[in-house]
Structure 1
Amino acid sequence: MDEPGAIRATPDTASDLDVVARIRQGDGASFELIMRRYNRRLYRIARGILRNEAEAEDAVQEAYVRAYQKLDRFEGKGPLSAWLARITVNEALGRLRAAAVVNNSISLDDPERGEGANYMAELTFPGPSPEQDAARGEFRRMLEVAIDALPDVYRLVFVLRGLEELSVAETADCLELEQATVKTRYHRARKILQEHLAGLVQATAGEAFPFAGERCDRIVAGVLRRLGIRGQR
Structure 2
Amino acid sequence: MNNSEIAILILAGNPEKYQDFIQAVKIGWCQDALNSGFKVFFYSGGHDCDCVLNSYEIRVEEDDAIENCYNKFIAAKNVLLSNFPDIKLVFRTNVSSYIDVEVFVKYLRKANFTENSYHGIRGAAYKYSELFYANKFLHSFFKYMCIGPKIYFFSGASMFIGSNLLNSLSYKKQKKYMIDDVEIGFQINNYVKHDIKFERIYVTKNYKKMKLDLYVNLVEESLLFNYKFKSSNRYIDCNCLSNFSDPLFRREFLTF
Structure ranking higher on relative contact order (CA contacts 8 Å, 6+ apart):
1
Greater Rg, structure 1 or structure 2? Answer: 1
TM-score (norm 2): 0.30
TM-score (norm 1): 0.32
Tell me which protein shows more strand as a share of its residues.
2
Tell me which protein shows more helix as a share of its residues.
1
